[in-house]
Amino acid sequence: MTALYKELQPADSYKIRLPYPFSNYDRQLLTLLYQPMIGAEAIAFYLTLWAEGEAAKEETTHYTLMNLLGLPIAKIFEARIQLEAIGLLKTYRKDEEHRSFIYELCPPLDPKTFFADPLLSMFLFSKIGETAYRRARDRFLIQSEDMAGFQEVSRTFTDIYQPVHAKAGYPAEQPKLHERKRIGYDPDTEFDFDLLRQGLSEQLVPKRVLTATIKATIAKLAFLYSWGPLEMQKVILLAIDDDYTLSVEGIKRAASEYYKLTVATTAPTLAQVHKTEPELKATEPPKTKQDELLLYLESATPVEVLRDIANGNEPLPADVQLANQLVMQHGMEPPVVNVLLQYVLLRTDMKLTKAYVEKIASHWLRKKVTTAKEAMELARIEHAQYMKWKSEGSPAAASKSSSSNRKPVREEKLPEWFYQKDEVPAAKSQPANDKLEVEKQKLLAKLALRKGKGE
C-alpha cells in the first residue's frame, strides 16, 4: 500500500548514542530556536531519545517509541527525517535478518552560529515573524560589562608552569573521548565555483578571499535565493570591501539588497518538501470506507485502536499488556494486531478474552500474516472456524475436546479445520457474513463520528 515499510517498521530495533552529556542550555536552544522550524512532534521525538539515551543502552524496537509518543510509525519517520535535515540527528542503518538502527543525537548550534547561518535564520524568521524573531535572538545576547579603565592582567600558561625534565615516562595512548562538535546540518547544495571564478577579476576579488566559510555561505545563499553563479558574481562585487576582503555578514547583506532590487522586497520563505514525501503516502487516496479503514489500521498503534473502540477512554492495563505481548514477544506486526483486536472485540460483545485472542494470533503467526489487508482477508475466510473456537471456549478445552479424535501425527501438518473450511454450506455461512458486515459498518460509522468531532 505504501513504501514506508522499506524505510522503517515498528519491529525494527534501534539503539541511542549520546556522544557527550547535553545540558539545560541545549534544551533552551531546542525549544526556542528549533521547535518553531520543525514542530513539536520532532522535538518530542528528540527529547525522548535524549531521555532514553541517558537512562538505557539496550536495544529496543520502534514499537516502544510508538507507545511513548502516541504516534504511528509514519509520524515517527517524518520526525526522524526532519531532525536529520536540520542537523540534530544522525541515523545509521544495518540490514541483516532483522533491520536495526543507531540514532546519534547531535547538539543544537550555539546562537551565534545559528543566527549567522543564512538558511536557518531565514527559516526561523519565516516561521515566527520579525517580532518573535528579534525576541528569540535578543534572549541570547551577551550582557557586556562596562570595561572602561580595566586592563587584563591574566597570567598565561607559561607564566605559571615550566617543564621539568624527569624520568616520568609518557602518558598512554589516548582512547576515543567525548568531543563536542558543532557540525550543524548538511545543506547538500551543489554550486559551480569554477564558473563563479571565471566572471570575477583576480584584481577585484582575489582568490584567497574565497575561504571555506565564505564558500559555504555563498552556496547557502544561492540555494536560498535560487541563484546561479552569474547572480552570485554580482552579489560578491557588491559585498567586496575596499581592502579586498569578504565577510559573511557582508555577503548576506549584499544578497538581501540585490534580491530586493531585482526580485521582491520580501524575503523568500523555506517550506518542507522532502524527497521521500511520495513514499510516505499511499499510491492513491482512499476511495471507499473499506480503504479508509485499512489505512487507519495500517497507521494506528494497537493502544490507539483500543482507545478508539472505548470512545476515547484509556484502555485497561491488561488489554494494553496483551497487545504489547503480541508485538514485542511474538513479533506480530502492529497493523495485524489492530485487525485482531477489532475482530475479537466485535465478535465477543466487546470482551477481550486472552485465550481467544492468542488462539487466533497463533494461527496468523503460522500463516505469516504481516499486513492488515492479509489479516482482514484471513478473518473473512476463517470466520466460521473462529466462531467455532469461540464456542468451544479456552484453548485447553478445545485441545481436550479434540484429543479423542486426533489423527496420526504424520497427517497433522495443518489443522483439521483447514480442510473443512470450504465444506460449510453457503446458506448457513451467509448470515454470519452479513452480521460481520453490519458490525464492520458500525465501526466505520464510529470512526467517522470521531473524525467529525475533530478528535
pLDDT in tens, 119-156: 888 889 888 888 999 999 999 887 777 778 888 889 88
Find how far residue 182's CA is from the centre of its chain: 22
Instruction: Say if strands 13-17 and 89-94 run parallel, antiparallel, or are unpaired.
Output: unpaired
Q: Which of 113, 82, 88, 110 is nearest to 220 (CA)?
A: 113
Q: Which helix (H) or strand (E) holds 91?
A: strand 89-94
CA distance 84 to 13: 18
Domain ranges in the chain are 7-111, 187-269, 287-403+410-452
State the pTM of this model.
Answer: 0.59
Segment 337-343 long-range contacts (CB within 8 Å, at least 24 positions apart):
337/302, 337/361, 338/297, 338/300, 338/302, 338/305, 338/372, 339/297, 339/372, 339/375, 339/376, 339/379, 340/364, 340/375, 341/302, 341/305, 341/306, 341/309, 342/297, 342/305, 342/309, 342/443, 343/379, 343/386
**How many beta carbons lie within 10 A of that of residue 212, not counting itself?**
7
pLDDT over 50 at 380, yes or no: yes
Structure confidence at residue 435 (pLDDT): 59
CA distance 188 to 118: 15
3-class secondary-structure state, position 166: coil
Instruction: Confirm if 122 and 114 have CB atoms less than 8 A apart.
Output: no
Lowest-confidence range among 24-28, 50-54, 172-176, 191-195?
172-176
CATH of 7-111, one of 3.40.1340, 1.10.10, 1.20.120, 3.30.390: 1.10.10
pLDDT over 70 at 387, yes or no: yes
Instruction: Confirm if 90 and 104 have CB atoms less than 8 A apart.
Output: yes
